Amino acid sequence: MRTVGIISHGMGNLSSVVNAFTKLGYDSILLDTPEYVSKCDKIVLPGVGAFEDGMKELTDRGLDESLQVHVASGRHLLGICLGMQLLMSKSYEFGEFEGFSFIKGEVRKIANPDLSLRLPHIGWNTTILCDQKHPILEGLPHEVCHYYINSYTCFCDEPSEVLGYFEYGDIYTSMIARENIVGVQFHPEKSQNYGLKILDNFMKW
């Protein structure tokens, strides 16, 4: 499979994601309507910005339903940053909003009770992998640096669906996986070699 579908819902810099797949030798199709979603075996749901806007932009374009069909058919989906958070049941970013519920759990703000942390959480942090047998983690060391930029983070109901953690004042979920779905909180397209490796693994999965 040499082609990846990239969901284009007006939330964030898609050219970074496209450039990364181009560098790896894959073709990208930008999906801003449901039309070609069913043609793609591999789909990436990227995105930065607020949860409510992200979900609304998908719904307005009819992409929410086509993503549900994609996942139900057993084809692969990778959520990046906000795209990962949208996979969860619910978010408390500026209100209370429903997500896809592909993975059970919530999105909440990184705790900062004594205001000792700077937020957003921006920069290179260590991702600690808990299940290196997952195909998406092929060839990665147990601890690896990735580029993060987030104030909100995922809390999974089911610990076995957590693939990796990061530490920022507390321990938080960095990667999630269930069946044909994977989500990463960091930006693999901006994390140089160990980020591009994950995108390549996704395509070979």
> Is 110 a binder of other proteins (CB under 8 A)?
no
Q: Would you call 81 a catalytic residue per the annotation?
A: yes
> Is 151 a binder of other proteins (CB under 8 A)?
yes
Q: Would you call 189 a catalytic residue per the annotation?
A: yes
Nearer to other proteins, 29 or 196 (CB): 196
Nearer to other proteins, 25 or 74 (CB): 25
> Is 128 a binder of other proteins (CB under 8 A)?
no
CA-to-CA distance for 153 and 108, rounded, in angstroms? 6
- Residue 82 CB, nearest distance to other proteins (Å)? 8
**CB under 8 Å to 24, separation ≥6 — which residues?**
196, 199, 200, 203
Q: Supply the Cα-derived Rg of the chain in whole angstroms.
A: 16
**Residue bearing tokens 């058919």:** 73
CA-to-CA distance for 105 and 88, rounded, in angstroms? 6
CA dihedral 161, 166, 172, 175 (to 10 degrees): -30
Amino acid symbol at 72:
A
Collapsed DSSP state (helix, strand, coil) of residue 119:
coil
Nearer to other proteins, 148 or 177 (CB): 148
Nearer to other proteins, 1 or 117 (CB): 117
**Is the peptide bond prior to 188 cis by the omega test (within 30 degrees of 0)?**
no
Strand order in the sheet with 88-91: 97-98, 88-91, 103-109, 152-156
> Is 113 a binder of other proteins (CB under 8 A)?
no
> Is 68 a binder of other proteins (CB under 8 A)?
no
> Is 23 a binder of other proteins (CB under 8 A)?
yes
**CB under 8 Å to 142, separation ≥6 — which residues?**
128, 129, 132
> Is 119 a binder of other proteins (CB under 8 A)?
yes
Sign of CA dihedral 56, 49, 109, 149: positive
Among 29, 89, 149, 205, binds other proteins (CB under 8 A): 149
Nearer to other proteins, 13 or 89 (CB): 13
- Residue 123 CB, nearest distance to other proteins (Å)? 5
Kindly list the catalytic residues.
Answer: 81, 187, 189
Q: Which residues bind other proteins (CB under 8 A)?
A: 12-13, 15-16, 19-20, 22-23, 48-50, 112, 115, 117-126, 145, 147-151, 167-168, 187, 189-193, 195-196
